[in-house]
Amino acid sequence: TLRSPMQLFTFLRQAEPETQEISRAAEVFDTTLCILKDRASRRHKRALVASELLSLEDLALIADLSGCPPPVLPAFCHNDCLANKYRSISGVCNNRCLPFWGTANSALARWLPAEYEDGEREPKGWNHGQLYNGFQLPPVHEVSKKILQSSTRPMLLDAVYCQMLVDWGQYIDHDISFTPQSTSRAAFLGGLDCLKTCENINPCFPIETFPDDKLSGNRSCVPFFRSSPACFSGNAQAATADIKQVLQRQQMNSITSFLDASTVYGHTPYLQSALRDLSNSEGRLAVNSRFTDRSGRPYLPFVPNTPSPCFQDPGDPQGERVDCFLAGDSRVNEVLTLVALHTLWMREHNRIAEALNSLNPHWSSEIIYQEARKIIGALHQIITTRDYVPKIIGREAFDLYIGPYGGYDPTTEPSASNVFSTAAFRFGHATIPSVLRRLNQSFQEHERFSSLSLHKTFFSPWRLIKEGGLEPVLRGLLGTPAAVVTPEKLLTEELTERLVVLTVPGGLDLAALNLQRGRDHGLPGYNDWRTFCGLDRIATQDDFREVVKDASVVGKIMDLFRHPDNIDVWLGGLVEEPLPGSRTGPLFSCLIGKQIKMIRDGDRFWWESEGVFTQGQRVELLRHSLSRVICDNSEVNEAPLDPFRFGKYPDGFLLCDNIPSMNLEAWREEPSPGMM
């Protein structure tokens, strides 16, 4: 039985079986190092670090005995036609010399060495009384209460961009990184249940709360599971001479780092197969066998293990069950807007597959599937880099950090970095509104399906099937202005007090979770990342005011942290004044820009890379847009040309007939004589 928000949140973010197996092996490896270190320290009667005890050869042996996968060697990469034409589902061998770069189930990249209290694996805040620059770090829940949710004023609305900008960011984040939590629910040494203890004992790292806090009831903490460590991989660390850094706890990215539409297709052979309709010869994705919308358009299939824990319609307890949906990413059911975007892209794949089958009847089911997948991946890349990222980091930062495409660079590591996935790209949490608006054909409040408080959209896929399909939600995304981040109003109470709450008592605090996750991952502080980006360090309160502009918020942060070097990177980046024409400050613009460039330049299958598409195909891909995808796969018949720009309907909205579309004739291929 799932009793608490944390249990539900954890259950519905479970990684694939393959990832869980690797996580378990990594946890055995990590626990073995702890035991060896502890025993040696007792024997020598002094604190030792693992780097004093073990060589790289020892680590490789322990990793092997723990069940970590063996290193992927270049010789493993096939050189056949399919391997050169289509990316592997796990990302392996994208880089032929370094086959593990960017792959699923590999370590997040470190742009700066991790900072742990013991130098190796204990997060900041693990040892009570530990001082930083002469002060203790403030507990994350106190930071959330006093800074991130301190204002009751309503969020400001964006005059330029619509809500789709926010939700595309979340969707695309789920294409780049997913860090699984520990597979164990109890402490490895001692067996304490993480849901019941307030002790820091791996993998439990509970969040301290105030007395009588409604999040924790009568307890002094909220449960928090550490992220699973990454398995030691000999080849991944071969270039690192410093064994101290090699021995630091790393975290895993369970999905591919590439912008490859893994949200649609998955990241393991098993999941990819489960998502395909293998009963026909047209290269399609599987669809729901029980429900379609009123126009006969398909929904995503349900998860194989039912009944699933997604919420049901409370107004119709005897009604037909609507289970959790199955998609390429397990987080699909978290919020209705994500379900809508996932459904849209499944439909777009099948639309394209049908067209390619008509154009090229000689193509096999596998070729149709792979060609449609390649087109969908390219569209994810184009929409993200052409339409989304410049609005987030600003055109100037885009030109500085990303710039024009110069071709595939096999020396660029495309792996998602720890600071990007755990801090910088979580800037979007501050732009999530408290209400999901659902609109009718005139882009006004829907007569039958009213707008919903955000917490009523969590894990509730039944609302799409029983409450009007995708259209009210999609119109809400296009016809509602986005929220603007201001330092004095950062996160809505829907996220800090009612995350994952509907019929389950209690709640979670997303701001506290983010800060605790950053400490769990050993992220260096705000000032170190400013130095990394070539920005001036913050030395005084006046320096900080120059960057934040809000003296009251600066005062609150400095009162809590006492020293600028102690400020968590997510908080510091979030309160910076946005750059002109952007939605992020200088630090996050830098970190996001650098990451997107690396993902682009280090991807052998990037859509602009030589030989991936013909010139004619590239021209057609550029004609397509997210607005066109919405037009082709829903009953929405008007949309803005740029789906991220806000215009008060009907200003800026075009009939779908006037929105350009790619011509798939560019993919027509004459059969070779042997196929006739």
CA gap 160, 482 in Å, rounded: 8
Q: Which residues are annotated as a binding site for heme b?
A: 429
Q: Which two tokens stand for residue 102?
A: 């960017």
Helices 17-44, 56-66: crossing angle, 10 deg rounding: 130
Q: Where are the alpha helices (DSSP H) in 216-294?
A: 243-246, 262-265, 269-275
DSSP letter assigned to residue 9: H
Distance (Å) of CA 285 to CA 16, 272, 280, 298, 466: 19, 9, 10, 11, 23
Cα 428 from chain centroid?
Answer: 11
Find out whether 510 and 220 touch, Cβ atoms under 8 Å.
no
Q: Which helix (H) or strand (E) holds 25?
A: helix 17-44
Distance CA 666, CA 375 (A): 12
> Beta-carbon neighbour count of residue 580 at 10 Å?
9
Q: What does 272-312 look like in DSSP terms, one character per residue?
A: HHHHB-TTSSS-PBP--SS-B-TTSPBPPPBPSSSS-SS--
| CA pair distance 45, 39, nearest whole angstrom | 10
Burial class (CB in 10 A: 0-12, 13-18, 19+), 501: middle
Catalytic residue among 141, 174, 455, 521: 174
Q: What is the DSSP string of 387-407?
A: IIHHHHH-HHHHHHHT-S---
- Tell me whether residue 349 is one of the annotated catalytic residues: no
Q: Using the Cα atoms of residue 396, residue 565, residue 483 and residue 222 in order, give the sign of their dihedral.
A: positive
562 touches 132 (CB < 8 A):
no
- CA dihedral in degrees (525, 517, 459, 182; nearest 10)? 150
Contact at 8 Å (CB) between 107 and 26? no
Beta carbons within 10 angstroms of residue 339's beta carbon: 26
Instruction: Give catalytic residues, as residue numbers.
Output: 174
